[in-house]
Amino acid sequence: MLENFSFRTIAEYLPLFGNGFVATLWLSIVSFAGALAVGTLLCAMNLQRSQVLKLPAKIYIDAIRATPLLAQLYFLYFGLPRLGIVLPELFVGILALALNSGAYIAEIIRAGILSISRGQVEASVASGMTYSQRMRLVILPQAVRVTIPPLLGQAIVLVKDSALLSLISVAELTRAGQLLASDRFMPAEGFITTAACYLLLYYALKSLAVLSARWLGVRPIRVRA
Amino acid sequence: MIWFQLQSLVGSYPLALRGLGMTVALSGISLVLGTILGFALGVLRTSGSRLLSSAIGLWVDLIRGTPFLVQIFLIFFILPELGVELDAFTAGIIALTNLAACFICEIVAAGIRSVPTGQVEAALASGLSKWQRMRQVVLPQAMRVSLPPLVGQYVLLIKDSSVVSAIGLTDLTRVGWLVVQRVPNGLLVFAIVGIGYFIVCYPLILLARRLERRMSAAHGEVQL
C-alpha cells in the first residue's frame, strides 16, 4: 500500500514543481494567444465565399481534428529539422499547441458568428451597412460574448494537452513529476503532485468559464463536431 | 535518398499494420467498456442518491481536470505499488475506459436532464416502474440529444489512445516514433501516421455532424 507516501520528498521537490507550474502556465498562455490568432485567421478564411481560401482552411481544420495531437507534435519535432528549421523543444511544443488549438478555436468562433440571429444581419443590411461595418459593429460584438465561455473550455483542454510536451522533454509540470518518479522511484508522490497542480488550474479556469457565462448572460452555443 | 527511404518505409508496413491493430484494439475495447460504464454512471448521476451523484461528479471532475498522460502514469506506476500486477495493455485499457466513462457519463446525464419533467410525471402516472420509466421513456429521448456528442467523444477516445505510446505500447504513434529512428524523415513518417488516424476518425466526425444536423432539424432549428 501507499503507507510510505512521503510528503517530505514532495516538499523537497517543491521548487521543481513550482518551476514546472510556472512553465506550464506561461507556455499555455503563449500557445493560447497563438491559437487565437490561428483560429481567427482560419475562421475568416472558412467564412469566405470563394473556395480559394475556404477549402484550405476546411482541409486544415478537419486534418487537425481527425489526428492526435501527439502525432502532430512528433510531425513537427521530427519533421522541422528535415526542413532545416531547428528550434528548441519548447518552441516546437508551443507551435504544435497553437496550431492544434487554432483549429478548434476556428470552429468555436464560427459557431459564435453563426449563432447571431438572421434578423440582426438583415436589419444591418437594411440600414445600408457595408460588409465590414456589419461585421465590426453588429455581428462581432455579439459573437465575441458568446464565444468566451467555450474559449475558456478550450483553454482547459490546451493546459491539459500541454502535458504531452513532457514527451519531447520540455521542462513543465508533467516532466517535474516524471523527474521525481525516476530520481527517487516515487511515482505516486511525483504524479499525484503533478495531478494536483493541474487540478488547481482546471478549477480556476472552470470557475472562470461558469462565472463569465453568468456575467455575460450568454447561453451555450453549439460547436459542431 | 528519398527512394531509399520509401523502400525502407514499405519494408516497415508489417509494423505499421501491427500498430494500427493495436490502436484499433485499444480504442475498440475501451469504447465498448467505457460506453457501458458511462451509461451506468450517467443514470446513477441523475437518479441515484444525492451522495452518490456528487461522488460521481467529483470523480468526473478529477478525471476531466487532469491530463490523460498523467492518468496513464498514475495507473501504470501506482497500481503495482498497491499490489495490482498489470501489463501496459491492461493499464492502457483501464485508463482509456475510465476516461471514456467519465465523459460519456456527463453526456448521458445531460441527455437525461434534457427530457422534460412532464414525460417522467406521465410515466409515473401510468404506473411504470422506475426501470421501465428509464428504459422506455427517458433513455430513448435522452439518446436523441446524446448521440451526436457521443460519436464526437469516440473520436476523442481514438485520438487519446495515441498517448498510451508513452508507456511503451506499440500503437500507430509509437510505430511512427520507432520508424523515424531508422528513416530520418519525420514529415513523411508522421504524415503517414496521421493518414492512418484520419481514415479511422474522419468518417466518425462526418457521422457526428450528420447526426447533429438531423437533430437540430428535428428540433426546428434553422440551419445556417
Predicted confidence band at B207 (pLDDT cuts at 50, 70, 90)?
Answer: very high
Predicted confidence band at A178 (pLDDT cuts at 50, 70, 90)?
Answer: very high
Residue A218, pLDDT > 90, answer no
A194 reaches B (C-beta below 8 A)? yes
Question: For residue range B9-68, what is the model confidence (pLDDT) as tens digits?
Answer: 787 888 888 999 999 999 999 999 999 999 999 999 988 789 999 999 999 999 999 999
Query: In percent, how much of chain B has pLDDT > 70?
Result: 96
Of B67, B162, B224, the CB nearest to A71: B162
Of B66, B160, B209, the CB nearest to A224: B209
Cell of A6: 512521503
Does A202 sit within 8 Å of B208, measured CB to CB?
no
Q: Which of residues 128-167 of A touch B (CB under 8 A)?
A: 156, 160-164, 166-167
The ipTM is 0.92
Q: From chain B, pick out residues whose CB is under 8 angstroms from the CB of A69.
A: 159, 162
- Residue B222 has a pLDDT of 46
Residue B221, pLDDT > 60, answer no
CA nearest to B218, candidates B165, B147, B159: B147
Q: From chain B, pick out residues whose CB is under 8 angstroms from the CB of A161.
A: 67
- Residue B108 has a pLDDT of 94
Predicted confidence band at A2 (pLDDT cuts at 50, 70, 90)?
Answer: low
d(CA A47, CA A65): 18
Q: How many other CB atoms sit within 10 Å of the CB of residue A184?
A: 14
Q: A45 vs B219, which has greater pLDDT?
A: A45
**A121 near A54, Cβ under 8 Å?**
no
A82 reaches B (C-beta below 8 A)? yes
- Residue B219 has a pLDDT of 62
Domains of chain B: 2-218 (1.10.3720.10)
Residue A103, pLDDT > 50, answer yes
What's the whole-number mean pLDDT along residues B177-197?
91
Look at residue A159 and give its three-state secondary structure: helix
Predicted confidence band at A7 (pLDDT cuts at 50, 70, 90)?
Answer: confident
Query: In percent, how much of chain A has pLDDT > 90?
Result: 71
Q: From chain B, pick out residues whose CB is under 8 angstroms from the CB of A198.
A: 65-67, 70
What's the whole-number mean pLDDT along residues B137-151?
90
Predicted confidence band at B5 (pLDDT cuts at 50, 70, 90)?
Answer: confident
Cell of A205: 479556469
Distance from CA of A162 to the nearest CA of B (A): 8
Radius of gyration of chain B (CA): 21
**Length of chain B in terms of residues written:** 224
Residue A220, pLDDT > 90, answer no
- Residue B220 has a pLDDT of 53
A220 reaches B (C-beta below 8 A)? no
Does A164 sit within 8 Å of B163, measured CB to CB?
yes
Of B62, B77, B189, the CB nearest to A181: B77
Distance from CA of A79 to the nearest CA of B (A): 4
Predicted confidence band at A72 (pLDDT cuts at 50, 70, 90)?
Answer: very high
Q: From chain B, pick out residues whose CB is under 8 angstroms from the CB of A178.
A: 73
Cell of A85: 528549421
Taking all residues of chain B, what is their mean pLDDT, rounded to a whole number? 90
What's the whole-number mean pLDDT along residues A98-112?
96
Question: For residue range B61-110, what is the model confidence (pLDDT) as tens digits?
Answer: 999 999 999 999 999 998 888 888 889 999 999 999 999 999 999 999 99
What's the whole-number mean pLDDT along residues A56-62?
96
Q: Burial letters for B41-71: b for 16+ Cβ neighbours within 10 Å, e otherwise?
A: bbbbbbbeeeeebeebeeebbebbbbbbbbb
- Residue B224 has a pLDDT of 40
Residue B223, pLDDT > 80, answer no
Q: B183 vs B73, which has greater pLDDT?
A: B73
d(CA B27, CA B99): 11
Residue B1, pLDDT > 70, answer no
Residue A132, pLDDT > 80, answer yes
Q: From chain A, pick out residues whose CB is under 8 angstroms from the CB of B222.
A: 118
What's the whole-number mean pLDDT along residues B198-202?
95
Distance from CA of A66 to the nearest CA of B (A): 5
Does A67 sit within 8 Å of B197, measured CB to CB?
yes
pTM of the model: 0.91
Q: From chain A, pick out residues whose CB is under 8 angstroms from the CB of B177.
A: 74
> Closest residue of B to A3, CA-based?
B82
Domains of chain A: 7-216 (1.10.3720.10)
**φ, ψ at A140 (rounded to 5°):** -60, -45
Q: Which of residues 87-126 of A touch B (CB under 8 A)?
A: 114, 118
**B197 near B162, Cβ under 8 Å?**
yes
Outline where chain A has alpha helix (H): 7-12, 14-46, 51-65, 69-79, 89-114, 118-126, 131-133, 140-161, 173-184, 187-216
